[in-house]
């Protein structure tokens, strides 16, 4: 009996020793995992903080490209690179890339931010959807300038549609029919109604610009825009709805001409012909100052 008891006690002691060792080992592994998690979160937070620091600098001066190197936030090392198309050709024009990289003894992390540097008024065409058979030209000489075409746009601007509609209503320029076919020189042969106040027309259906006619002002078009050969529009076309288009009608190689700018949630297609849009900052600036003044030129378009 005594010998049996000793054997049992020895067995219990061995078992408890094994269990204690196993428990201690699990505890150490748990502590290791916790430390790794803390280091991982710390590196991630530092990388995010570096990105925000760079964004603050860029909002003060969008030409800042210095970045940060060999900085420390607590126990984390931080470096931030700021590049654009002039320093890295893999970055598209008008974009700025921020790479915020951090590491510590146990982990590393990178935050990548892409910004678009430029307002929509700097472009002859700003389209959410595709743009084909459209030539954009500069204001100075009317020379073809593809960089004045932004499609698909990285974002759509904030535009005060209610104020536009109220302006059109106040000027008695609301066209509620299925289609609107304005006469030559509509509405008064000028972009402006009076002084510096632009003409605004709200077209609830489709707008047809017939050949040999030139129309003026800001046009909010809920439907489609159709341009005949040698039809011209001097002003700004704003198309707030998706699944709409600006199309060229007719044959030959004649152009549909827009002098000013186009902002559309839809598409533009010159078909077998061409639509030529000449960038005209005067008209676009009038549109922006009156109806789209809340847009900042520097905007975050991607965050990873």
Q: DSSP string of 13-78?
A: HHHHHHHHHHHHHHHHHHHHHHHHHHHHHHHHHHHHHHHHHHHHHHHH-TT----EEEEEETTEEE
pLDDT at 12: 45
Looking up tokens 């707030």, which residue turns up?
Answer: 240
* Prediction pTM value: 0.82
> What does the alpha-carbon distance between residue 271 and residue 166 come to, in Å, rounded to a whole number?
34
Taking residues 207-227, report their average pLDDT: 96
Which residues on adjacent β-strands are paired with residue 219? 201, 237
pLDDT at 73: 84
Taking residues 245-261, report their average pLDDT: 78
Whether the pLDDT of residue 24 is over 70: the answer is: no
Whether 234 and 215 have beta carbons less than 8 Å apart is answered as: yes
Taking residues 8-29, report their average pLDDT: 48
> What does the alpha-carbon distance between residue 222 and residue 203 come to, in Å, rounded to a whole number?
6
Q: Which long-range contacts (CB under 8 A, 24 or more apart) does 8-13 make?
A: none
User: In the sheet that 68-73 helps form, which strands lie side by side, from edge to edge?
Assistant: 68-73, 76-84, 95-103, 108-117, 298-303
Between 296 and 90, residue with greater pLDDT: 90
Whether the pLDDT of residue 34 is over 90: the answer is: no
> What does the alpha-carbon distance between residue 92 and residue 114 come to, in Å, rounded to a whole number?
10
3-state helix, strand, coil in the chain (%, to 5): 30, 35, 35
Q: For 72, phi and psi rounded to 5 degrees?
A: -130, 130
Whether the pLDDT of residue 158 is over 60: the answer is: yes
Whether the pLDDT of residue 13 is over 60: the answer is: no
pLDDT at 3: 56
Res. 40 pLDDT band, cuts 50 70 90: confident
The strand pair at 192-194 and 197-198 is best described as antiparallel
Res. 41 pLDDT band, cuts 50 70 90: confident
Whether 250 and 211 have beta carbons less than 8 Å apart is answered as: yes
């Amino acid at each position: 009996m005594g010998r049996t008891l000793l054997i049992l006690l020895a067995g219990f002691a061995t078992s408890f020793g094994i269990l204690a060792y196993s428990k201690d080992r699990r505890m150490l592994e748990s502590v290791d995992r916790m430390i790794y998690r803390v280091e991982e979160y710390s590196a991630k937070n530092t990388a995010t903080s570096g990105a925000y620091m760079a964004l603050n600098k860029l909002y003060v001066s969008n030409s800042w490209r210095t970045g940060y190197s060999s900085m420390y936030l607590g126990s984390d090392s931080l470096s931030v690179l700021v590049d654009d198309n002039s320093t890295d050709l893999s970055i598209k024009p008008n974009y700025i890339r921020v790479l915020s990289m951090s590491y510590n003894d146990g982990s590393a992390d990178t935050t990548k931010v892409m910004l678009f540097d430029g307002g929509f008024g700097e472009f002859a065409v700003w389209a959410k959807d595709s743009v084909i058979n459209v030539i954009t030209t500069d204001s100075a000489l009317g020379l073809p300038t593809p960089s004045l075409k932004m499609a698909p746009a990285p974002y759509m601007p904030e535009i005060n549609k209610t104020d536009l509609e109220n302006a059109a209503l106040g000027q008695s320029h609301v066209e509620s029919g299925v289609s609107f076919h304005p006469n030559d020189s509509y509405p008064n042969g000028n972009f402006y109604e009076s002084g510096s106040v632009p003409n605004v027309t709200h077209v609830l259906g489709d707008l047809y610009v017939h050949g040999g006619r030139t129309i003026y002002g800001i046009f909010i078009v809920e439907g489609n825009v159709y341009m005949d050969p040698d039809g011209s529009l001097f002003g700004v076309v704003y198309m707030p709805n998706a699944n709409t288009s600006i199309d060229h009608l007719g044959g030959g190689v004649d152009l549909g001409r827009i002098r000013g700018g186009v902002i559309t949630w839809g598409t533009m297609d010159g078909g077998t012909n061409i639509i030529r849009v000449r960038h005209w900052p005067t008209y676009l600036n009038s549109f922006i100052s009156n109806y789209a003044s809340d847009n900042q030129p520097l905007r975050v378009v991607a965050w990873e």
